[in-house]
Structure 1
Amino acid sequence: MCGLFGFHARSSLALAGRLDAATDLLAHRGPDGRGTFLAHGRGGNWQVGLGHRRLSMIDLAGSAQPMRSHDGRYTIVYNGEIYNYLELRDELAAMGHRFVTNGDTEVLIEAWRAWGEACLSRFNGMFAFLLWDSETDRLFAARDPFGKKPLFVAKGEGFHAFASEIEPLRKFPGIDDRLDTDSLREFLSYRYVPGPATFFRGIAKVPPGTFMVMEGAKVRTGRYFTTPFSRTSPDIDDFDEAVRLFGDKLDEAVRLRLRSDAPFGAFLSGGLDSSTIVALMSRHMSKPVATYSVGFDVPGSSELPYARQVAEAFGTDHHELAVGLGDFTSVWQEAVLRRGAPVSEPSDLPVLLLSKMAYRSVKMVLTGEGADELLGGYPKHRAEPWVARYQRLVPGGLHDLLVAPAARALPYAARRLKTVAGVAGIRDRQARMVAWFGGANSDQAAALYAGPRQARALDPLPFAADGAASALKRMLHFDQTSWLPDNLLERGDRMMMAGSIEGRMPFMDVGLAELAARFPDAFLTGAPKGKRVLRTLAAKLLPRDIIERRKVGFRVPVEQWFRTGLSAELRDLLQSGDATVRRVCNGAEIDRLLGEHLESRHNHEKVLWALANLEQFFRIFRPSLGEAAPAQDREADYLLASTF
């Protein structure tokens, strides 16, 4: 787990002096080592610069980066872990490949030498890397299938630049860092910016499961992975067999992710997902698992007692962090800076605080992220398959006339029922996918933002699941191609790496996803609380109370804090005279939402959190607020127009 920076540029550009400074802006991602590499192509017209900050996990004394192959042909900077590197190393050694280190970085280089682009599908891991081939004068960039590791790209006049985070690219000369107004509009609806866009016109995300090849002025792009839920039909009809297969595959995923030469542990919430991971870790470790849990000092908002119960059941070396309002606000701006965007979820901040605490004793943790998006664990996954039936029975006009007003009038506490009643009436599937977990609904978004009309077409991939076997599988495809890489996995990377700690996610194993896609819907959402296969497996591993307790998620008490200790800061962010958010959004609508929340008439915490973080983003990054950019001027549109 590291931070990388690199550029491929015309030799006439004086960029060499920028390499060190850009690399060191990623020091928090790699406090254990640094290195740079600069070379010119054989024709002398192009140059490549590579920078690396290392968080050493495997082969601690060796495997420094940038790493050159033993023959000097290839040079790589790499962020992530190839969990099956030992198996690949044995296979490559049998083919005659030579190794001089004991880490996975050299395995990646030799896998590229052996198989070229096809090596990407052989890797079981999380990765983003830049690999320079001095014989062909090509720079190859790639990102892992689910997007667990970040890779941003910016295109300037005569160059491409890449980085693990946005900040080094913003400080690099010749990159357009003006505000992208389309991303602003999308953020209000999604609560995050859907890829490949960012908030900056000239900076984009390399999409998960894709690669880019730069050779002179030519750029080639391609996609090597799409989620199996969009292309796989169920073929496993024996439930007991499904549980056995899933248990074996998850156990293998955990075992492979325990490969580390540095101390490690687990983030434990006390919920089903992370508790199952800790139970499986305990099978493979000869000493107690180090577990880390975070909670809040607001009654009814802490899962620490549940986490403590699991820790006691498995005899872990348990550590707890109780977060108060002051702790929360102390890292708010740091979280926005590291994310390079408004913070989508309040839970980012306690994850950052917990990472800083865990770094005192470990350098890597396993987490439970991705289980809900893999196995249908949210209420929306059980509700979406019923929407088509509801819409056949209730005409759109009747819904708008009776059901929607009744839903809006529901009590303050009926958050989930209000969401289901509102979303069920949305006839457009693309809009409905966004609305289930979105921020402002269509009416609120229209009232909040009256800026330029959207010019950019959205990435069609999250909505292009016509090969999926059911409405549930189409939703899981959306979750795995949008919600996860652009929100939850982004949180996991940015907040943990801000604390200089690596997060590994066994549920985000490609083989596990391939298996789950073969299950019928009833094996996923067929239990009252969803994730039927996992619940059945976990019943053999965990205390009964953990299995049966109601899913509450990792909820930060911002709803209460906005009305109490955070109210003054919220008013400053949203109502001060110099608030930029009031320049780009409708101030009267902001005031209405804020007033209704503070008076406990409606729960607007999602929208208010989005708006408050938008203002934090403006105060930290101060992007220029220009007119809407023509499509050809934006890096995200350049990527969407490619061959992905």
Structure 2
Amino acid sequence: MCGIFCLLRLAAAQLDGDKTVHEHLKRRGPNCSQDLTVTGTNPFYQCVFSAHVLHLRGLLTPQPVQDNAGNVLVWNGEVFGGLPVMPEENDTAVLSQRLSACNDPSEILSILSSVRGPWAFVYYQRARDYLWFGRDFFGRRSLLWKFDPEENGLTLTSVAAHTSGPAQIVWQEVPAVGVFRIDLKAVTDAGSVTFEVYPWAHAGNDLPSTCNEIKLESLPSSCTAVMNQTGLVLASPVCPLNTSIPKLLNETELHLNSHPSVEDLDQLLGCTGSKNEVNSLIDVLSEAVRRRVQCLPFGDQDNSPLINGQAAVAILFSGGIDSMILAALADRHIPTHQPIDLLNVAFKLQDPSTKVESTKKHKKHNNKPTDSTMTGANSQKSSSFDVPDRITGKAGLKELQDLNPERRWNFVEINVAQEELQKMRQERICHLVHPLDTVLDDSIGCAVWFAARGAGFIAEDNDQTCFTSSAKVILTGIGADEQLAGYSRHRVRFKTSGHEGLIQELAMELGRISSRNLGRDDRVIADHGKEARFPYLDEDVVSFLNALPVWEKADLSLPRGVGEKLLLRLAAKQLGLGPSAVLPKRAMQFGSRIAKLENSREKASDKCKRLLTG
């Protein structure tokens, strides 16, 4: 995983990158940093590359990578399949070798289409004076762009900074609609930037198949985008969504409990005939988890073992079904003697009297702001942080301990006081969430940032021990709700528009996940020098779920806690999980209680002033 950066200068003016941006980039890649500048002479252009590497697989490979022909690659991705990469090899080096052998665009597209895993990249093709860049099909890695028309410079970067510069020069996310190419000779002659788009085969149904100008939601000012004249596309890595509608509703007589229970799932497993689909889901999801937890450097660069039994893998953990299944499947593929960190975040909601007293005490002793972990471990009662996700998290921990009592499950209680939340939002998080700016982005961004930091405490023998997670890989459950109708809005759509409306809603969910969630989450988690991995968005998992008719994935005629994500709940029961299999969906901002810290009258879609003024 890396922080990547490219500044394209089309004029001789001296454009300097933002120092704050480079600080964020270095935190993403703490193991190796390097810069490289290439210059075109006829006509003049200059590409300034910078890359900061988090070493996770194979030999440490500094970036930017430049081959003998002068081609340059900065790659922020993981090859989990599609291209052969041996355990001792580095995927950046392998990809650079493959791209070096390409002579025409179709060969480059063929290689990128074959990669299974998340990626964002910039590639300079020296012989043709081309600059290629883009994000994977789902947009699992962040890439931002902006264009300064006065200085005639385009910037591409993994992470930006929230500044108060000219309103017309703004950062935007590069749309995950395909791969973009800039003909450097053509744009230098023209004095303006045009992007040629090579779209995913059926991801951009809104994109025209001609070379007419394309209107993208997030396009830098003074730039245009056109379809490539050859009509070339990237082959979609997933199969199309099954849009079939049931002719008859399920008339199987069920006698479910008034409150969802594991016994309900037993009954459903016995009468719905879905055991094959359940087992298949477990198999494909288990393989997706395996790819993401193995072939890791369990130690330092000299391959020494982790000291004191430190974990290499952590899970954003609420005790809900999505994270519980990830933990149960990770348990299959990580050696039992290695711990797994379960990162559970909670925000304390102080009552007014406590807040006043705390402020007076702080002023009296003139103390510096204390770390949230010290607040939780030493000066605050644990009950102050018994938010819903903490309660379900502890219950989930017991289920996992029963599942594998030999495993050390590090349940990391990450307690965040409002004072530190405000401090870190202003110093770091507002920049990472940018250019997203809603109340929801603030809540989720802050919660995920503190959770991924992994600084809290673990309870041992009724004592609280300060603990910071060593894991460099963090599994997150995003993608489950979007594919298996886990949100309350899915139930509303089903009630108003039936299966047809639900299918349309699910198609929209997956189509917008890059711009709504994934870029933000990648930026926030990577700020700690850690890598987010998304098993539910593995290409094979998505293809499996896309191929199923919607009624085999969810039955929203059944109660909450059973009907939504039904197939996943049945899989949880099959894996030996207990009450967590029937927990209703609870959004992270509510489960962690961060949403109650601020203005309760805000709507999730409102612009968040706390981010804009950070």
Q: TM-score, normalised by structure 1?
A: 0.65
Equivalent in the alignment of 2:613:
619
Query: For each residue in 1:164-200, what CA deviation from the matched residue of structure 2 results, as whole angstroms up to 9, or x when unmatched?
Result: 12329x69xxxxx544xxxxxxxxxxxxxxxxxxxx6
Query: For each residue in 1:302-341, what CA deviation from the matched residue of structure 2 results, as whole angstroms up to 9, or x when unmatched?
Result: 3223323333234323322123333433322232122124
Aligned amino acid, residue 308 of structure 1: K
State the aligned residue count: 459
Compared CA separation, residues 249 and 559, structure 1 to 2 (3 A) = closer
Compared CA separation, residues 14 and 491, structure 1 to 2 (3 A) = closer
Partners of 2:596 and 2:245 lie apart in 1 by 47
| Contact 1:19/1:36, CA 8 A, preserved across alignment | no
Equivalent in the alignment of 1:540:
574
Equivalent in the alignment of 1:522:
551
- 1:82 match: secondary structure: coil
Equivalent in the alignment of 2:199:
223
Equivalent in the alignment of 2:297:
261
Partners of 2:429 and 2:239 lie apart in 1 by 32
Equivalent in the alignment of 2:274:
239
- 1:361 match: secondary structure: coil
Equivalent in the alignment of 2:128:
136
| Contact 1:147/1:489, CA 8 A, preserved across alignment | yes
| Identity over aligned pairs, percent | 21
Which of 264, 268, 278 aligns to 2:327? It is 278
Equivalent in the alignment of 1:474:
504
Is 1:361 matched with 2:470?
yes
Partners of 1:553 and 1:25 lie apart in 2 by 28
Is 1:552 matched with 2:546?
no
Equivalent in the alignment of 2:521:
492
Partners of 2:77 and 2:439 lie apart in 1 by 23
Aligned amino acid, residue 616 of structure 1: R
Equivalent in the alignment of 1:80:
77
Aligned amino acid, residue 89 of structure 1: V
What's the Cα RMSD here? 3.0
| Contact 1:11/1:40, CA 8 A, preserved across alignment | no
Q: CA deviation at 1:254?
A: 0.5
Q: CA deviation at 1:295?
A: 2.6
Q: CA deviation at 1:102?
A: 2.0
Partners of 1:79 and 1:285 lie apart in 2 by 25
Spell out the pairing of 1:347-358 with structure 2 (5 A cutoff).
Answer: 347-357=444-454
| Contact 1:63/1:105, CA 8 A, preserved across alignment | yes
Query: For each residue in 1:426-478, what CA deviation from the matched residue of structure 2 results, as whole angstroms up to 9, or x when unmatched?
Result: xxxxxxxxxxxxxxxxxxxxxxxxxxxxxxxxxxxxxxxxxxx8322211121
Equivalent in the alignment of 1:510:
539
Q: CA deviation at 1:301?
A: 2.6
Equivalent in the alignment of 2:29:
30
Equivalent in the alignment of 1:108:
95
Query: For each residue in 1:207-229, what CA deviation from the matched residue of structure 2 results, as whole angstroms up to 9, or x when unmatched?
Result: 11421111121531121254568
In terms of fraction of residues, the more helix-rich structure is 1
Partners of 1:166 and 1:347 lie apart in 2 by 18
Partners of 2:317 and 2:611 lie apart in 1 by 30
Aligned amino acid, residue 261 of structure 1: P
Equivalent in the alignment of 1:249:
284
Query: For each residue in 1:375-420, what CA deviation from the matched residue of structure 2 results, as whole angstroms up to 9, or x when unmatched?
Result: 111122122122137xxxxxxxxxxxxxxxxxxxxxxxxxxxxxxx
Partners of 1:560 and 1:154 lie apart in 2 by 35
Compared CA separation, residues 72 and 320, structure 1 to 2 (3 A) = farther
Spell out the pairing of 1:318-329 with structure 2 (5 A cutoff).
Answer: 318-329=411-422
| Contact 2:158/2:523, CA 8 A, preserved across alignment | no
| Contact 2:143/2:519, CA 8 A, preserved across alignment | no
- 1:124 match: secondary structure: coil
Q: Which runs of 5+ in 1 are unaligned?
A: 91-98, 172-176, 180-199, 390-468, 563-569, 571-596, 598-603, 621-644
- Report 1 or 2 for greater relative contact order, CA contacts < 8 Å, sequence distance ≥ 6: 1
| Contact 1:29/1:55, CA 8 A, preserved across alignment | yes
- 2:393 match: secondary structure: helix
Equivalent in the alignment of 1:457:
none
Q: TM-score, normalised by structure 2?
A: 0.68
Compared CA separation, residues 324 and 159, structure 1 to 2 (3 A) = closer
Partners of 2:285 and 2:48 lie apart in 1 by 39
Compared CA separation, residues 553 and 619, structure 1 to 2 (3 A) = closer
Q: CA deviation at 1:79?
A: 1.5
Q: CA deviation at 1:542?
A: 4.2
